[in-house]
Amino acid sequence: MRAYWKGHLRLSLVTIGVELYSASSRSNELSLHQIHKPSGKRIRYEKVAPGIGPVDLDDIVKGVELSKGEYVTLDSDELDEIKLDSKKTIDLVQFVEHCEIDPRYFNRPYYVVPTEQDVAEEGFAVIREALRDAKRVGLGQMATRGRDQICAVKPCGDGLLLETLRYASEIRDSDRVFGAIPDVKVDKEMLSLAGELIERKTAPFDPAAFKSQYASALRELVEQKRKKGKVSHADDDELEAKSTGNVVDLMEALKKSVQRGGSKSGSSRATSARKKTSTTGKRKPTRKKAS
């Protein structure tokens, strides 16, 4: 696999080289395209402006809609000026318990592995096991493709799992949706029966036990039509540094970090990060730790 990101993971004075790989894949999904049935060719889309028709790519700029039909246009040069430089270091600035982050904030998972160096591998193992023993998740920020993201790092088997987080402004207030649910007094006997049913069906989570019936049926349908020769063919013209760690003595770096108070987050920084990951609804769901 190709690394999504290469850089460093830093815990105070301990810095190790790491690489990130996407933990999810959509390669097994079947994509449905629009096809012109008489010719069997795939439908393509032109960029058009109402009342003008097809437009040249050089005349297209990006814009933000202020109100219906009113836009502020932005040139590529203007957008480039505000893009953030790719940050090659993820600083773990705060630590929280696994269940403290509302699941709604989690966005996309990545596997974290050390670069091929003895020092990086040793430092990686120390951070991984320290997080596992403390049952904590490390919080930091990373900048990729011109934008910054919050990220949470936690142990995952022999490696680490980094999950990007949504900002608080991206989460809708649940009260606006749940507020219309009436307050119902629950019958104790019904509650007991429901609890018993839940207990009977409780079992360890096995994602392999769940299969997409739609995906299986779609694949079967495609295979049947392929065997019958019902396949369209497009024309030929339609086909189209490694990072290094910089800590020489890992034990010495750890000792200095503790002496400097590096094992504790500053109160203002902790308060700010806690606000970003706070629950916006009334209830606070828990999230299972990755094994």
3-state secondary structure 210-262: CCCHHHHHHHHHHHHHHHCCCCCCCCHHHCCCCCCCCCCCHHHHHHHHHHCCC
Q: What is the pLDDT of residues 229-239, one digit of tens each?
A: 766 665 555 54
- Non-local CB neighbours of 72 within 8 Å, separated by 6+ positions: 63, 64, 66
pLDDT at 226: 79
Geometric angle at alpha carbon 232, from 230 and 233, rounded to 5°: 140
Per-position b or e across 219-247, b if 16+ CB within 10 A of its CB: eeeeeeeeeeeeeeeeeeeeeeeebebeb
Q: What is the pLDDT of residues 120-163, one digit of tens each?
A: 788 899 999 999 999 999 999 888 877 888 999 999 999 999 99
* Torsion sign (Cα): 91, 94, 98, 103: negative
Ranges of each domain in the chain = 1-25+81-169+263-280
The Cβ-side half-sphere exposure at 169, using a 13 Å CA radius, reads 2
Q: What is the pLDDT of residues 211-231, one digit of tens each?
A: 878 778 878 888 887 777 766
pTM above 0.75, yes or no: no
Instruction: With cut-offs at 50, 70 and 90, classify the pLDDT of residue 78.
Output: confident
Name the more confident of 47 and 284: 47
Residues 32-58 have a mean pLDDT of: 87
3-state secondary structure 29-57: CCCCCCEECCCCEECCCCCEECCCEECCH
Cα–Cα dist 155/135, whole Å: 9
Q: Say which CATH topology domain 1-25+81-169+263-280 has.
A: Ku70; Chain: A; Domain 2 (2.40.290)
